[in-house]
Structures are given as structure tokens and as C-alpha cells.
Amino acid sequence: MASEKQYIDLYEQSRAMINAHSSAVMNEIRETAFEDFKRQGFPSRKVERYKYTDMDKLFEPDYGVNVNRVEFPINPYSVFSCDVPNLSTSLYFVVNDSFYKKALPKVGLPEGVGVMSLKDASEKDPETIAKYYGKIAKTSEDAVTALNTMLAQDGLFIHVAKNVKVDRSIQVVNILRSDVDLMVNRRVLIVMDEGAEAKLLFCDDSADDRHFLGTQVIEAYVGENASLDLYCLEETHEKNTRVSNVYVDQQANSRLNHNVITLQNGITRNKLDLVFKGEGAECWCNGCVIADKSQHVDNNTLIDHQVGHCVSHELYKYVLDDKAVGAFAGRVLVRHGSQKTESDERNQNLVMTKQARMFTQPMLEIYADDVKCSHGSTVGQLNDAAMFYMQQRGIDEHEAKLLLEFAFIGEVIDRIKLEPLRDRLHQLVEKRFRGELGRCSNCQICK
């Protein structure tokens, strides 16, 4: 197809330049990724995990790609100011797909914690990066992951050493910045050593009113007895297309709290692949989607119970208005011998108009006989009795609708453990339902 050919041609013509502006570790698997991409091509809607989003159409436009690593003029520390009350974070920036290192947070991180450019980290400590980079994000199994791996030249590396507990949350703001339509390929590698604990907040924002196409691959290794809270908040605009693949490897007795929140976007396709590698591990995977106009949000998850005595919780909620399209496909796989597995999966959706569409497909695949697993989904509209009850007590129809929508989505927000972020998201969600921008008022890039 033409959309695949332009990326194949781009790589073949720019191979030397791509390698020159990256590192040996990242280059080492680049050719394999290229061959995997050529072999697979973009998945059609006949592929089960991509049935709700036309990937070929997303990648068809001719975007610019900054393979020569031209620097875009921006100082994010001077234009970005987060107004979340009491959210004391160590703040870092990724501009398009490059770690911003001209200025760093004044408050240092504890010893044993590193947040840095992936390229720099792989040159400084190639053995550690080579041990983890590209190991769970397999290019042979996913064409978007292969495309990202063959084009990514830098990224973000976060490492928390053994038994180190990071009290201050680490916030990473991903800023899209360009004077022309642009494709970015962002790469993130997170390594949590045994007993480590950290809270990470990723915020996606756009500084320019251009068409952006972003691929993102996150690999997160959660070691034995480690704990990771990973929050991903998207507030971009309708010209933004985001394709994100998150891969998580959990070892024995580890904990993961993963939250993906889509408040403003154009087209979003999120994939989560989580594997339990050690017994006693537990995860909470939550999603919150508010979409209107012609927005499209597709969340696809796989939770793979490869060993027994693990627990997974999954809750995704959507509120769709106007002509928005939502999709959720969640598969929980319990393999042979994975006894004493516990899993619950729920997808609940409000469709506010006849033009909006929601596709939902929760799945359980169980090959063990001593388990407690449940799944379910609902698609509906606001409760007429509740609306009538509120109007009888003097609340007009519009306000009653907003209150019910807010209460519906609040269950997901309440699962966020980071209290200042939870409180701020309650405000953002309410403003979103009221049609207000809902971003930080003192931040120039949000205007």
C-alpha cells in the first residue's frame, strides 16, 4: 500500500542519517524492525486487535519527519506552568520525540533515580539499555511497534534503583511543536528495580495548531516487590493523531496502577499489553474517555496471566457525544497452570446521541480451573428516572445531564491514588462536559 511504501522509502533514503543521530543500542535492532515492518505492513481491520481503527488511513497523509534532528525553538520551562494545587512534581519535558535537557528541575531526584535522554543513557550505559530496550515491545508482532523502532532516534529513560522509593511524583510533559505537519516517534523505557516505588505522570499537549501524527512505544519493567503508578493524560486537539503501545512486564509481588485519560484529542489508538511473570503480582488498569464532535478513541488491552496467584482489575468508561466513535476491546488470558487467578474486567459506556457509536468487546480466555474471573460491558443512555427525579427538584435538564455524566465518569477518576491529580481531574472533567477548555490558565502552550 502507498502508506507503507512512503515509510519504507523514507527509511531506505535516510538510513544513514537516522543512525547517525541515534545510538548504537537503538541502531542495533533498527534493521530487524525495518524488515518486520516491510513483512507485516499496516494491519487491516481484518486483524482482530485493529478491527475498530483504520490504521492505513491514519498513516496515509504525507507528514514531515525530523530525521536530521533540527531543533524546534521552544523553552518549555518558560511557557508551561501546571496549576494543579499541591501537585509537587519533578517536571521534565519531551519536545516532539526528544528529551529536553537544556534545563532540568531545580529539585533533584533521590540517589538511585535517573530521568534522562534514552540516547544519552544508551551511550553512557549501553549494557543496561541493551538488556531491556526492545525486549517486550516485539517488532515481529506489531507493525506500529516496528515502525516506531525503525524510526525512533531518541526518547526517555526512567530508572529507579533497588529499594528506592520516590516520594515526589515525576511529571513528563510531551509537547508537540512544529511549523509544519509533523510525524513524531516517541520512545519510553521505564525500569523499576526490585522493591522500587514511583509515580509517573505523562501529559500530552500541543503547542501548535498543526496536524500531528505520533507513534509512542512505552516499555515498563516492574521488578519483584516494586510498585509503579503510571498516569497518561491526553489534552491535545482535533488535528492530533496518537497511536500508543504500552508494554508492561510484572515480576513477583509487584504492583501496577495504570490510568489512561483522554479529554481532548482527534484520533487516539491506545494498546496495552501486560504480562504477569511472577506470582503474587497485581494490577489496576483504568481508562476514562470523554469524546464529542468527530473524535475517535480506541483502547485495546491484553492482560496475560502467565503464572498463578495474580490479580487484575480493569475498568474503562466512555462518554460519547455528537458523532464521536469509541471502541474498547479487552482480553484477559489465563494460561495453563495459572491457578488461583483473580480477574475482573468492566467496560461501561454512555452514548448521548443517535450519531455517536460505541464498540465494545470484553473477552475472557481461561485454561485453568481454579480461578475467579468476571467480565462485562454496558452501552446505554442516561437514566430517564434519574433525569426526571433531578428536574422535579428544580435542576434544569442541561445541568441534570452534566451532573449524571460527571457522576458516571467519577468512578474512574476516584481510582487515581495521586490525590492532587485526582482533585484536579474532577475539575477538568466537569469543565470538559461544560464545553470549556479546562486547561491550566497560566500556561502559554494551552492557549
Cα-based distances in Å from 266 to 355, 373, 439 = 17, 34, 17
Q: How confident is the model at residue 427 (pLDDT cuts 50, 70, 90)?
A: confident
Cα-based distances in Å from 365 to 131, 315, 369, 371 = 31, 18, 12, 12
Whether this prediction's pTM lies above 0.85 is answered by yes
CA distance 285 to 345: 9
Burial of 50 (0-12, 13-18, 19+ CB in 10 A): buried
What does the pLDDT look like over 233-258, one tens digit per residue?
999 999 999 999 999 999 999 999 99
What is the distance in angstroms between the CA of the first residue and the CA of the last residue of the chain?
Answer: 38
Asked if residue 151 lies in contact with residue 63, where contact means CB atoms within 8 angstroms, the answer is no
Amino acid identity of residue 263, one-letter, is: L
Mean pLDDT in residue range 224-229: 98
CA distance 207 to 177: 5
User: Which comes out higher in pLDDT, residue 390 or 188?
Assistant: 188
Cα-based distances in Å from 156 to 121, 142, 215, 265, 270 = 9, 21, 14, 23, 19
What does the pLDDT look like over 100-118, one tens digit per residue?
988 777 677 889 999 999 9
Longest dimension (CA), the chain: 70
Cα-based distances in Å from 51 to 95, 143, 326 = 31, 14, 12
Q: How confident is the model at residue 435 (pLDDT cuts 50, 70, 90)?
A: confident
Asked if residue 209 lies in contact with residue 177, where contact means CB atoms within 8 angstroms, the answer is no
Q: Which of 18-32, 83-97, 180-194, 281-295 has the lowest mean pLDDT?
A: 83-97
Q: What percent of the chain stands above pLDDT 70?
A: 92
Cell of 192: 523499576
Residue burial 195-214, b: 16+ Cβ < 10 Å; e: rest: bbbbbbbbbbbbbbebbbbb
Chain-wide mean pLDDT for the chain? 90
Stated as kind and residue range, the H or E segment containing 18 is helix 2-20
Cell of 327: 471502541
What does the pLDDT look like over 33-53, one tens digit per residue?
999 999 999 999 999 999 999
Asked if residue 251 lies in contact with residue 281, where contact means CB atoms within 8 angstroms, the answer is yes
Task: Indicate the pairing of strand 89-95 with strand 98-99.
Answer: antiparallel
Q: Which of 74-88, 105-119, 195-209, 233-247 has the lowest mean pLDDT?
A: 74-88
CA distance 371 to 305: 11
Q: How confident is the model at residue 442 (pLDDT cuts 50, 70, 90)?
A: very low
Q: Give ∠ CA 160-163-169 in degrees, rounded to 5.
A: 50
Cα-based distances in Å from 440 to 169, 218, 235, 399 = 19, 26, 11, 24
Q: How confident is the model at residue 223 (pLDDT cuts 50, 70, 90)?
A: very high
What does the pLDDT look like over 390-422, one tens digit per residue?
777 777 777 777 777 888 898 999 988 888 888
**Which residues are within 8 A (CB) of 340 and not within 5 positions of it... i.e. 6 or more apart?**
308, 309, 370, 371
